[in-house]
Amino acid sequence: MTQLGDIPNSLDPKGAGAREIAGLWWLMATLGTIVFLVVIGLLLTAVVRNAHRNRDETIPQLLRDIPEGRPWIWFGGILVPAVIIASVYFFDLRTHSALASASSDNTTVIEVIGHQWWWEVRYPDQEITTANEIHIPVGEPVVIRLRTADVIHSFWVPELHGKMDLVPGQDNQIILQADTAGIYRGICAEFCGRQHAKMQFLVIAEDRGEFAAWAERERQPSFQPDDERLRSGQQVFLGSSCVYCHTVRGTNATANIGPDLTHIASRMTIAAGTLKNNPGNMAAWIVDPQHIKPGNLMPPSSMSGEELQLMLDYIMSLE
Ligand code: CUA
């Protein structure tokens, strides 16, 4: 399981896809090591033997030049490599077909759309839109449909599955499965511009009940403020430039350039895994996002300290 900040390890698989890939990796690493040791051994033997033979004056020069290693060339240079490469190719094809294995009809379908530099996450069957955080039921295959709103990105959760590119004009798909409940870090694995490194996400695998409860909460419109202070904060938010880019369902904010904020307070990170989601980081992000993630589309906001505090209280109430 990955805590926030841990580096995910693809050789510590926690899902069916990653296990296939790790198995292939170990097979190839083992074969490669054996081949390397055998070749080095033969090389050293040849050096020692020929040094000895060239000094042996009783053997005529002509005989000394005759190659006695021809069978080695046929056997060790052609036959053995052909067998090794063919078997690695076979296991590679087997891994590919295992990764593409079909899913049943009632599988959860999740659409992931890459943006510079964040991940839009939709559950079309459940009318859920969120960002940078993908909840899945543990032990069940889920279909991840991948597309991009701009350039090529690559979706990679090292402990669960291999990489899959998000290519303009083309829909790709993987089947993700986590065998152990936990939080898995995902990263963009294709250079996509200045903030490529800050394009991360989390996959949260939880049991069926927790997943259903999460989905039920996500489907709801946003929390409606029940006290004066939060209502003022909502007014500051709705009167700010935030609404030109963000949606908070249940309010007049319906733009979809930036991440959906309807349940922003329930997410663990902000700015695609860049910062932990807490009031201090949120305030820093709202005031000067270009300082934290230069080049991203969000402009700085100028407002009084009082307005910022009100808006912050409102945003952190959106669970
Ligand atoms: Cu998106 Cu790199």
pLDDT tens digits for range 252-277: 999 989 999 999 999 999 999 999 99
146 vs 122: CA distance, rounded Å: 11
197 vs 21: CA distance, rounded Å: 24
Query: Residue 6 pLDDT > 90, yes or no?
Result: no
Ligand 1 contact, 188 CB (< 6 A): yes
What is the rounded average pLDDT for all residues in the chain? 89
Of 68-82, 122-136, 185-199, least confident by mean pLDDT is 68-82
Ligand 1 contact, 199 CB (< 6 A): yes
Over the stretch 213-238, which tens digit does the pLDDT of each residue have?
Answer: 999 999 999 999 989 999 999 999 99
pLDDT at 5: 52
Instruction: Give the model's confidence band at 105: pLDDT under 50 very low, under 70 low, under 90 confident, else very high.
Output: low
Token couple for 164: 């899959």
pLDDT at 67: 62
251-284 burial, b at 16+ Cβ within 10 Å, e below that, comes to bebeeeebbbbbbbbebebbbbbbbebeeebbbe
Residue 159 CA to ligand 1 centre (angstroms): 18
Ligand 1 contact, 137 CB (< 6 A): no
Of 95-104, 130-139, 202-211, 246-255, least confident by mean pLDDT is 95-104
Which atom of ligand 1 lies at the shortest distance from residue 188's CA? 2
Q: What percent of the chain shows pLDDT beyond 70?
A: 91
| Angle (nearest 5°) at CA 91 between 112 and 71 | 145
Ligand 1 contact, 196 CB (< 6 A): yes
pLDDT at 2: 43
Query: Residue 1 pLDDT > 60, yes or no?
Result: no
Ligand 1 contact, 192 CB (< 6 A): yes
| Angle (nearest 5°) at CA 12 between 96 and 20 | 15
Residues in the chain: 319
Pure H helices in the chain: 16-55, 61-65, 70-72, 80-99, 208-219, 228-238, 279-287, 289-292, 305-315
Query: Residue 53 pLDDT > 80, yes or no?
Result: no
pTM beyond 0.95: no
Residue 193 CA to ligand 1 centre (angstroms): 7
Please say whether the beta carbons of 316 and 282 come within 8 A.
yes
